[in-house]
Chains A and B, each alone.
Chain A
Amino acid sequence: MGIRFILMVNKQGQTRLAQYYEWLTLEERRALEGEIVRKCLARTEQQCSFVEHRNYKIVYRRYASLFFLVGVDNDENELAILEFIHLLVETMDRHFGNVCELDIMFHLEKAHFMLEEMVMNGCIVETSKSNILSPIQLMDKTS
C-alpha cells in the first residue's frame, strides 16, 4: 500500500478531510492526527516538505490556509506524491472554481469521491482531471 492516509487540515489544526487506507481505531486516528499536525504545521515554508514519522513518511503541502498531508510508505517517491497533491488541488479547483476550505467543508462527500477516483487501495489509479471529474459531473446532473 503506497498511500496510507490523506489528511486535509487547516491552519488551526482542525481536520477537514480524513481518508485512511488502512484500518485504525478512532483513538489511533486521533493520536496520529494530533502528532502529525504538531509536527508539520510548525514547519516553515523554507523547510522541506517531508517529515519522517514512526515507520513512514509524511509528504505535505500548504495551499492558502489548508495543509494537504499524505502519509506514504518509505519507498514511495516523495516528489510524485507532491505532484499528486497538486493534481488533487487542481482537480478540485476545476470543479469548484477557486477552491477554498469552505468548499471542502460543505462538499466533503464530493472531495471524498474525487479521492476515490484518484486513489484506490493506496495506489494512484487515475491522473487525468477530466476522467476524475466526469462521474461527479454526471451525478450532479442527475440529482
Chain B
Amino acid sequence: MAGSSIMETLFQRNLEDLIKASRQQQVQESLFISKSMDEIRREIKSTDLHTKSVALQKLSYLSSLHGLDMSFASFHAIEVMSSPQFLHKKIGYHAITQSFNDDTPVMLLITNQLRKDLNSGNQFEVSLALECLSRIGNIDLARDLTPEVFTLLSSSKAFVKKKAIAVVLRVFEKYPDAVRVCFKRLVENLESSDPIIVSAVIGVFCELSLKESRSYLPLAPEFYKILVDSKNNWLLIKVLKIFAKLASLEPRLAKRIVEPICEHMRRTGAKSLMFECIRTVVSSLSEYESAVKLAVVKIREFLIDDDPNLKYLGLQALSIIAPKHLWAVMENKDFVIKSLSDGDFNIKLESLRLVMAMVSESNVAEITRVLVSYALKSDPGFCNEILGSILSTCSRNVYEVIVDFDWYASLLGEMARIPHCQKGEEIENQLIDIGMRVKDVRPELVQVSRGLLIDPALLGNPFLHKILSAAAWLSGEYVEFSRNPFELMEALLQPRTSLLPSSIRAVYVQSAFKVSIYCVYSYLLHRENVASSIGYGNQASEVSESVSKKECPESSDLTSEAPAFSEQDEGFNPRDSNQSFEDPSTENNGDVIVTHAQSSTSASLGKSSFTQESIVNLLNLVELALGSLSGSHDVEIQERAKNVLGSIDLIKKEILNPVVQEEQNLVREETEAFNAVKLMRDAFSKELGPVSTSAQERVAVPDGLTLKENLSDLEMICGDAQLPLPNTFSLGSPQYGEKVDEPLSDLQSKDKSESLNESTSLLAEHRKRHGLYYLPSEHGEIVSNDYPPANDPMSQDKVSEDAADLVKLTEQSLASKKKPNHVKPRPVVLKLDGDEIAIAAKKPGLNGDTLSGAVRDVLLGNEALPTSSRSNSSDKPPSKKKGKEKLNTDLPLESQDNLGGEEMPGGTASSRKSKHRSHGKERRHKSLGKNDEQKEDNGQKETQRSNHRHGRHKARQKADGHLNVVAQTPVIPDFLL
C-alpha cells in the first residue's frame, strides 16, 4: 500500500498538468472530466498529505469552473486544512470556503481548527481562517469564535485587523449577540489613523445601515467627520450611502450634510463619487432646492456625455427624482425622448420610465399617441414594454390621469391591434374594469368591442383571445348601447370562433344569449306597444315605462337615471328621427311620445329595426351556430349552448304565429314567452359592479363556525378540481346568481324531457306556482348592493376630491404645454375602499431585526450587562419611565445641539441625548395621535403597549429582556464623542 502511495505521488498529475491536458481535449470535455474525477477520487484517499492536497486542489478547480459536486471530499478538505504546512492549509481552506454550507454535516469539525488558526502567530494563517469564517460562518461558528474575532479587532497588524473588521459583519448577521461583545471595539476603530482600517469599518456600517439605519444615528458625528475630512473616494462613497439612509430619518442631519455634499459635487473629478453625491441628493435631500439644482446640472452633464454608462446613470438619477421634482425631467425632456430610440435596450427602458413619469392629465393623450406609434415600429420586446407601461400608468390610482374615457377605450382597442401586442390579459382587465366603473364610457366600449369582434383576422392571434373575451362580454352585458345588435350577433357566432379556447368560447355563447334576449325583448316590447297603442294606450305606456325603469334596476331614484338615458338617447336619435316618422303608426302614438319620452325611445327603436323577419332570422342563426356546440366536450360551452337553444325553442314558437296571438294577447296583456324573455332580460340588465377586495372581510364570521388556519387537507379533498372561469365574470351579487340559475335550469330540464307542446303548458303551470319568485317584483332587496352606486353622494365627494388632486397635479407639473381644456367633464369613476387599501398597502412597514436591536442596545450603553441579569421592563420602577418621557418632550432642542457640532461638550450629555433621540423617535411613531398629558401619566403602560405592538419584529430581543426599553444604565460610552 505504501508503495502505491509513493507511485501515486511520483506520477500524480498536478493542477498544471490537468489544465494543460484539459486544454488539449477539445472534443470530449465531459469524458475528460469524468476520467479526471475518477483519478481524483482515488488520489484523495491517499495517506500522503501532499497527494491528497494536490487531488483536492484539482477537485476545487474542476468544481468551481465546471460545476462539479465536491461534497464527497468534505472530510478530506478538513484533513488538508489541518496540515501544519501553509501550502496544504491554503488548499484546504480554499476547498472549504468554496464548498461548505450550512448543510454540510462535518461543519462542526472545523471549529477547533479555525480557533487554532485565528490564534496563530502567522498572520497569513489568521487571514485564511478569517476569510473562511466570512464565507461559511454559521450561527455556531459565529458564536463560538466571537471571542477570537474580538481579540483580533485590536490586533496590531493592520493586515489582520481589517479582515477581522470585515468578518464582524458576518458574525453580527449570524449571531446578533456578538454585537454586545464587539461593537464598542468596532466603533473605536473608526478613530483609527490608518485609512484602511477606517475604510473597513465604514464598509461594515454601510452594510449594517442598509438593513436598518435608525440604530446608527448616534454615530452621525463620526461619519460627518469622515465626510468632511476624507479624501478617499471609496470611503466617501460608503459614507454617502450611510448618510443617504440617516438623512431621511433625521431632517436636522440632512440640513447639516447638504453643504459638504454640494462641496464634493463641485470639487470632485471622480465620476463615481459625483454619482454617489447626486444619488444621495436626489433620493434623500430632495427638499433642499439648491442641492437639487446643482445635482440636476450635474445630471445633465452625465446625460450629454458620450459614455453610455453615464447616460444610463443620469437617466436613472432623473427617475429617482421625478416623483418629487418633475421639472428636472421636463428640463431634459428632449434628451429623454431622444433616448427612446437609443441602441441600448437598458437606456431605452430608463427613458421610457421617465416619459411615463411625465404623464399628466393634460398630456396623456399626446404622449400615448407618440408612444403607440413608436411601439408599432419597435421590436416586440420593447413594444410590449411600452404598452405595459402605458397600461400601468393610465390605470394608476383608479385611472387618475384619464379624463376622456371614450378616448381611452378606443386607445385600448387600438393597442389590441398592434401586431406584437402580448398584453392581452391586462387590456382585458382594464376593458372590463372601466366598463364596470365608468357608466358613461359604455357606449364607446361597445363600439370598440364591436370593432374587435367583427374582425375575423384577430381570432387567429392567441395573444388577443383574452381581449376578445372582454369584448364579447362587454357587448353582451351592455348590448343596449349597440347600434346594430344583429351585426354583433353575427360577429359572436362567426365560424372562426372555433379558434378560441373553450373558456372564452363560453363567454361568446353567453354573450350571444344576452344579445338575442335583448333583441327578442325589444321586438316583443315594440309589438306590445303597437298593439296597445291601438286601444290600450295608457296601459301600454305604463308597461313600457315600468320596463324601462327596470333597465337600470339598481338605481332607485329617477334623477340619477337621467344621465344613462340621455346617453342612450344620443346614441339612437338619428335613427329615431329618420324612421319613426316614416312609420305611420308612430303618429298614433303621438301622445305617448310626448308624455313618456323615455319609454318611447326604446319603443320606436324596436319598431325601426326589430321586425319579425329579422328576429326569426336571428334566432335561426343562433340555432344554426350553436346547434353543433350542444355536443361540445367542454361542459361550460355545452351547458350554455343548450340553455340558449332551449330558450330559443320556447320563444320561437310564439313568434312564428304572431298574427293570431297578437289579437288574443291584447286581452291577456302578457304572454308566456314575453314573460320569460322579460325575466331573462331583467336578469341580464341587472348591473354588475366591481367588488371591493375587502368585501369578504366585511362578512362577519357566524357563530359556531371555526376557520382552519391551514387548508392543506382541502387539497386532498378536491385535488384536481378545476377552478371556475376567470373571476371577472363571476362578479355580481349572490342573490342574483341564484335567481338566474333557477329559472334557466328549470326551463332546460323541462325542455329536454318533455315534448314542446307539453313544455309550454308545464312551464305555465310552473310559473303559476312560482310566479312570485320569478317576477322581479322584489327589487328592493336587489338594490342593497355592497358597492356604492355610481351617483352615490359619497362617491361624488370622492370624485370631487379626486378632481382637486388632479388640479393640484397639473399645477405642479410645470408643463409648458397647453392647459387642458375640459370640454367634457370627467365621468364618474367608481372607486372602492379596496382600491385605496391596495394603494396604501405598498408602504413598507418599519422593520427591526434582532441585529439592529442588539446594536441599539449597545449604543444605548447596555453592553456591559450580562444577559442573565437583565430583567424585564415591568420590574422597573415607574418613576424612571416617567422621567424618560419627560426627557422625550425636550427632544428636538437637544438633538439639535447634538448635531450642531461634531465636538461634544461632554460625553455624558451627548450619549444620553443620542440615546433618547432614538428612543423618542420610536415612541413618537408608536403613540401617534395620543394625548401628550396622558402619555406622561401612564408612561409605563404606554411603554409596554408599544412594545407589544412592535413585538413581532423584536420577539427575540424581547426574550433578551426588553433592553431597548429599559436603557436604565447611565453609563456613558465615550465612543460617541
Measuring CB to CB, which residues of chain A are less than 8 angstroms from any residue of chain B? 1-2, 14-18, 21, 23, 26, 29-30, 43-44, 46-52, 73, 75, 77-80, 82-83, 105-106, 108-109, 112, 116, 120-128, 131, 135, 138-139, 142-143
Contacts and interface: CB of A to CB of B under 8 A. Distances in A.
A131 B196 contact: yes
B394 interface: no
Interface in B291-319: 308-309, 311-313
Q: Which among A15, A75, A105, A121 has the highest number of chain B CB atoms within 10 Å? A: A121
B275 interface: yes
Contacts of B101: 23
B781 to A, nearest CB: 50
Contacts of A17: 64-65
A46 B344 contact: yes
B199 interface: yes
Nearest 7 CB-CB pairings of A with B: A79-B272, A120-B166, A123-B203, A48-B308, A47-B344, A48-B312, A121-B134
B163 interface: yes
A78 B347 CA distance: 15
B170 interface: yes
A18 B65 contact: yes
18 contacts: A15-B64, A16-B65, A30-B67, A47-B344, A48-B308, A77-B241, A77-B275, A78-B275, A79-B272, A82-B272, A112-B94, A121-B134, A121-B169, A121-B170, A125-B162, A125-B165, A127-B234, A143-B87
A143 B89 CA distance: 14
A142 B101 CA distance: 32
Given A106-B16, A120-B131, A127-B234, A46 B308 contact: yes
Given A47-B308, A48-B312, A123 B200 contact: yes
Contacts of B135: 21, 121
Nearest to A45: B308
Contacts of B90: 109
Contact of A15 (B65, B68, B234, B346): B65
Interface in B60-94: 61, 64-65, 67-69, 86-87, 90, 94
**Dominant secondary structure of chain A at its interface with chain B:** mixed
B204 interface: yes
B952 interface: no
Interface of B: 16, 19, 23, 57, 61, 64-65, 67-69, 86-87, 90, 94, 101-102, 124, 127, 130-131, 134-136, 159, 162-163, 165-167, 169-170, 196, 199-200, 203-204, 206-207, 210, 233-234, 237, 241, 271-272, 275-276, 279, 308-309, 311-313, 343-347
B272 A44 contact: no
B268 to A, nearest CB: 12
A46 B309 contact: no
Contacts of B163: 120, 125
Given A105-B19, A123-B207, A48 B167 contact: no
Contacts of B131: 116, 120
A75 B241 contact: yes
A120 B130 CA distance: 9
A50 B344 CA distance: 11
Contacts of B196: 125-126, 128, 131
Q: Which among A21, A48, A128 has the highest number of chain B CB atoms within 10 Å? A: A48
Nearest to B312: A48
B230 to A, nearest CB: 13
Contacts of A142: 86
A131 B200 CA distance: 14
Contact of B167 (A1, A49, A79, A121): A121
A125 B203 contact: yes
Contact of B200 (A75, A83, A109, A125): A125
Contacts of A122: 207
